[in-house]
Structure 1
Amino acid sequence: MTDGTFAESGADLELVGIHKRFPGFTAIEELDLTIPAGSFFALLGPSGCGKTTTLRLVAGLESPTSGQILIGGKEVTNQKSFQRPVNTVFQSYALFPHMTVLENVAFGLRRRKMAAPLDKAHEVLRLVELDHLANRRPQQLSGGQQQRVALARAIVNRPALLLLDEPLGALDLKLRRQMQLELKSIQEDVGLTFLHVTHDQEEAMTMADTIAVMNKGRIEQMGAPQELYELPKTAFVANFLGQSNLFTGPVVNTTSSAISVDIAGQKVTVPRARAQRATGNITVGIRPEKLTLHTAKPKRDAATSVMGPGRVVDVSFSGVSTQYLVHVPGVGQLIVFAQNIALESHVRDGDEVWLSWATSHGFGLEDDPAEAPRFSPDLDTRTIAAQRRLEDA
């Protein structure tokens, strides 16, 4: 916005030594987090990881067992929710059905006895491109339009911090993707600090400047989306933020630039700068889309890792890409994503194949190998079926 109505930037958020215990379990274990003013920050994790509890603590809907919450440098730990410069957008839009869109957006301004509430409501509706529907009722709008009204109602109050609690979960896939881009654009326009809680990895990576991956009440890793995806530090991050092929074995050779790991008699090399550990047994990984399938054994060199032979046990076409499951004796089952750039794949179910990838794309985890799962725990039904076929063979 250029006229100054939404020129106020958001405030930074600090969580210092936050613990939250409920009877019988601990939801958050010593959380320290700083979210810079004006950023789009995502808390990403599975159900029960503590992300929603964190959001409720910031909103003032729960109180921490210990620790401090600061917004814009001011401690708000003991303030009630209505005293905090915070607004929340929920998955359920919570719009008033008997009010028009304009009245819904102006509601909070009128309660606070702000000047010119309708003018301000019209302005924020123009921002979310819904001013032409100002006189409609919520039930006359699509799900995406209702979500934008809920967002407008939150933004119009000029909160220092906007909390988004799974805001797009009720939308269909196509509309959800559209709204991801729109939300990011709106955040850049208004300059507020957004804290977005989600379990949807694609949603987090599409919108957020910074992602914190949460697991069991702790932050496993935090950074820019590309950084977390390309260089995960733990098996949990590697498998929750996308999928990964993980292998565990002893380090058998090290140089100043690379380490080599023995995986069931096959050597996998990883750049030293991309490995969290360089001695003993370690877990290394490669993303499925980095792999290339070959029907003849490819040449191995310092720049290329090769694994195989293996056998294709499942082929799944998804439009943009095809997923292959390849069983390599002694190693296990690998996932390969191949972009569909040809009319017909040259690899079929049951074929013998080799896999190769650029050594520079591999990564090494910091996990104790005894604790790091070798493969993603979130196996889909096709993967499970393929495994059963192998066991029955």
Structure 2
Amino acid sequence: MADVQAFAEAGADLELVGIQKRFPGFTAIEHLDLKIPAGSFFALLGPSGCGKTTTLRLVAGLEDPTAGNILIGGKDVTSLKPHKRQVNTVFQSYALFPHMTILENVAFGLRRRKVADPLAKAHDALKLVELDHVADRKPAQLSGGQQQRVALARAVVNRPALLLLDEPLGALDLKLRRQMQQELKQIQQEVGLTFLHVTHDQEEAMTMADTVAVMNKGRIEQMGAPAELYELPRTVFVANFLGQSNLFAVQVVGGTDQVLHTDLGGHRITLLRSRSARDSGTITVGVRPEKMRLHTQAPPEDPAVNVIGPGRITDVSFTGVSTQYSVQAPEFGEVQVFAQNVEAGPAAHLGDTVWLSWLAEHTFGLADDRLDTGALNGDFSTRAIATQASLAE
């Protein structure tokens, strides 16, 4: 990477206070309070229509909020035009000028603002993304990944306090997308700007961001470090949008100062009180598929281990790194189990009778009053739900 001193101006913090955005016929953002520290890589994650792109457009000045204020670096910019804000946006479409060279593309904004020595600054920005050697080429002569890096250089060269990334890697293939995720994170750390990244791709958000905010229906459902959100989701939506979860409706039947004991169709399910948002009545608990283990015989009782079964394997899918099993039983419905392929051949086969276990400390309890009606088809009996997040754009 190039010397980044030319881009070392610190990023600014971003604060959204009481933001609402209404369009004719619907509300895109209900009520949003959010503070993003200077120099951080922050991701807004959610499905199509959740309000994340509207939030980004409000910050960029491309939309006006119905209510609330937007502050960048402590300065209220709510009424400022886009070009008056210290903000640049990198779009999925790159938006490079096809008739200009790469160097001219990067220098374009500097020339318009009559910044001194625009070509030298453009060369510095291209060195930062390791593309100065293609400065004389046209965009059509570059790969998709290279064009994305040029778009990034064009944004960074303007030294914005805040860089907005709108689904920037969506047009790239999987291998290139993963490479660009690492490069974007590295550039953000070296340059020190504040990045606000909008995406529907959970892996992308969790790979790059310091903090992830999961949005749903115009509100932030949960916000925190990626590992925190994955290991301890607080709602059904977050549990199912970030990866895959097995969820159960259980009845709290007792406990101690440290743990809760619940009943799942005659099976004891134990969880730590510190990992449950609720501690009485019927609650929703969950466990990630990779935390579960398959047994061909009922394992011995252990207060630190939850066991359910017997159940029957109804599906086996080999994915390379792991084998994914679907296990069904009347008491708990259908459960997904991901088993690492540490040995040759599957650990169990279609039709086998198995028991499932997991450490009580891996169980989480959600804040939702009840399981999602759509997932349960209206049946609130004690069942498991294993749903994969819909990542439709």
TM-score range, shorter chain: over 0.9
- Displacement after TM superposition at 1:300 (Å): 2.4
Cα deviation, 1:247-297, whole Å, max 9, x if unaligned, reads: 012101111111011111111111111111111110000000000111111
Q: Which residue of 2 aligns with 1:249?
A: 250
Q: Which residue of 2 aligns with 1:99?
A: 100
In the superposition, the TM-score normalised over structure 2's length comes to: 0.95
- Output the CA distance in 1 between the equivalents of 2:331 and 2:323: 25
Q: Does 1:151 align with 2:161?
A: no
User: Match of 1:34, SS?
Assistant: strand
Q: Which residue of 2 aligns with 1:219?
A: 220
Cα deviation, 1:296-337, whole Å, max 9, x if unaligned, reads: 111221111111111111111111111111112221101111
Q: Is the 8 A contact 1:254 1:278 kept in 2?
A: no
Cα deviation, 1:73-111, whole Å, max 9, x if unaligned, reads: 000101111111100000001000011111110111111
Q: Does 1:339 align with 2:349?
A: no
Q: Does 1:174 align with 2:184?
A: no
- Displacement after TM superposition at 1:379 (Å): 7.8
- Output the CA distance in 2 between the equivalents of 1:18 and 1:31: 5
Q: Which residue of 2 aligns with 1:5?
A: 6
Letter of the 1:6 counterpart: F
User: Match of 1:244, SS?
Assistant: strand
**Structure 2 gaps, min length 5:** 376-383
Q: 1:376 to 1:307 in 2, by over 3 A?
A: closer
Q: Aligned residues, how many?
A: 380
- Output the CA distance in 2 between the equivalents of 1:379 and 1:221: 16
- Output the CA distance in 2 between the equivalents of 1:301 and 1:263: 17
Q: Does 1:119 align with 2:120?
A: yes
- Displacement after TM superposition at 1:358 (Å): 0.9
Q: Which residue of 1 aligns with 2:301?
A: 300
Q: Which residue of 1 aligns with 2:66?
A: 65
- Output the CA distance in 2 between the equivalents of 1:176 and 1:168: 6
Letter of the 1:33 counterpart: L
User: Match of 2:154, SS?
Assistant: helix
| Alpha-carbon RMSD | 1.3
- Output the CA distance in 2 between the equivalents of 1:131 and 1:22: 44
**Structure 1 gaps, min length 5:** 381-393
Larger CA deviation: 341-350 vs 27-36: 341-350
> Matches of residues 25-104 of structure 1 in structure 2 within 5 Å?
25-104=26-105
- Output the CA distance in 2 between the equivalents of 1:280 and 1:3: 56
- Output the CA distance in 1 between the equivalents of 2:39 and 2:140: 33
- Output the CA distance in 1 between the equivalents of 2:322 and 2:178: 18
Letter of the 1:359 counterpart: A
Q: Is the 8 A contact 2:21 2:29 kept in 1?
A: yes
Matched-pair identity in %? 71
- Output the CA distance in 2 between the equivalents of 1:314 and 1:85: 53
Q: 1:341 to 1:267 in 2, by over 3 A?
A: same
- Output the CA distance in 2 between the equivalents of 1:164 and 1:379: 22
Larger CA deviation: 2-11 vs 220-229: 2-11
> Matches of residues 376-387 of structure 1 in structure 2 within 5 Å?
376-378=386-388
Q: Is the 8 A contact 2:245 2:387 kept in 1?
A: no
Letter of the 2:262 counterpart: V
